[in-house]
Structure 1
Amino acid sequence: MRQPDELILEMQNGNEKAFARIYTLYSEALYGIVYSVVRDSDLAEETLQDVFIKIWNNSKSYDINKGRFFTWALNIARNTSIDATRSKAYKNSKKNLSTTNFVDIISSTDNLNKKTNSIGIAKFVERLKPVCIKIIDLLYFKGYTQVDAAKELEMPLGTIKTRNRNCIKELQMQVLG
């Protein structure tokens, strides 16, 4: 999808119709990101609303010349989702999971292809180096922090940060063709 620069500029100038159109264009993909982190449809919908409130309130901080709007919005969605999972209410709701739920969660966390297909980037992610696939899966689809990903992959934090940046650049190059 080509980035709708004019629509983004209109939204940044306070045009609510442009914002509604942006919501229509990006909500499904961002919901996929949110849901992959929170794993609860009600919480995902609520978090998605928070994401779009942040997009609206912070739209002027986005610079078309510094990166893709989707990447900017994806980071807002990811961070908002992680914040939602750190809330006391979320933790309390997960304390009493049945073993069946637990098995479902475990099996779904390893299905990167299903998650990336839901936002249309599976074919691009599959072309990345294995280390990039692991890093993107942990950071963007499983909601790990960079510190947690460094521990999981047994790599220094600085290495994770550098590789994440390089992997995202590589993914952007593939998407942009």
Structure 2
Amino acid sequence: MQSVDELRIYFVKSLTLMSDDKTLILKLQNRDETAFSLVYDKYSAALYGVIIRLCKDEHDAKNLLQDTFMTIWDKADGYDFDKGRFYTWAHRIARNKTLNFLRKSDKLIQVEDLSVYKNRTEEVTDKLDDLKLKGTIKRLDAHHQRAIELVYFNGLTHREAHEEMNVPLGTFKSYIKQALKQLQQSYIKITVFITILIEVMR
């Protein structure tokens, strides 16, 4: 039986061999347990940060993290490299699981990210999904469209999304605000929901 130190060395070597994220994820999609362990090592801290920031409870956060990785393992073959980074996909799983847990336990409260707004998040996201299907969002300026997609479709917080776009946080927030105003003018059915978001952002 291998010692803890031997296993640690093995995983370090494996990580070096699979430092390319695509290679690692492809192995995960082929149900490679070593790849899964490496994915856990690589992303668990960041995903735990996403979860604990929302639920504020260490016990719940640890359970939700394990649940997140079980879903990552079960649904890894559903990840599409052409649709974004693996972390973005995993982030959305962690975020959605946490929000669903908080809604069911009636613990959801407003936090710094306006996409987490009690009893409004799903309604706004559903309306934005409808807009996307209708092509309305595609008519936005490219930077406005990207900002909306990162927050409302990819599940990133404002802080994570502004880093993804490589623009200052204040600039990113102005993108979101301007985009929501344009959508408000384009689609009367979501006026109430978007107005709420704009007012809170002031």
Q: TM-score, normalised by structure 2?
A: 0.52
Q: Does 2:137 correspond to 1:145?
A: no
Q: How many residues align?
A: 126
Structure 1: runs of 5 or more not aligned: 95-104, 111-136, 151-156
Counterpart check, 1:5 vs 2:4: no
The two structures have a TM-score, normalised by structure 1, of 0.58
SS at match of 1:138: coil
Deviation, 1:33, is 0.8
What is the percentage of aligned positions where both structures have the same residue? 37
1:29 aligns with 2:21: no
Residues 34-80 of structure 1 show CA distances to partners (whole Å, capped at 9, x for unaligned) of 11221111000000100000000000000112210011001101100
CA RMSD of aligned residues (A): 3.5
Larger Rg: 2
> Which letter does structure 2 place at the counterpart of 1:84?
F
Structure 1 runs of 4+ aligned residues shifted over 6 Å read 140-144
Structure 2's unaligned 5+ residue stretches are: 1-18, 152-160, 168-202
The Cα of 1:138 is off from its aligned counterpart by: 2.0
Which residue does 1:63 correspond to in 2? 80
CA distance in 1, matches of 2:87, 2:118: 19
Deviation at 1:149, TM superposition (A): 8.0
| Aligned 1:1-177 pairs, distance under 5 A | 4-87=21-104, 90-91=105-106, 109-110=111-112, 137-139=113-115, 145-147=121-123, 157-158=127-128, 162=137, 166-167=146-147, 168=150, 171=162, 172-174=164-166
Report Cα offsets for 1:130-174 as digits up to 9, x if no partner: xxxxxxx22269996253689xxxxxx449974885212874342
Is residue 3–residue 68 contact of structure 1 (8 Å, CA) maintained in 2? no
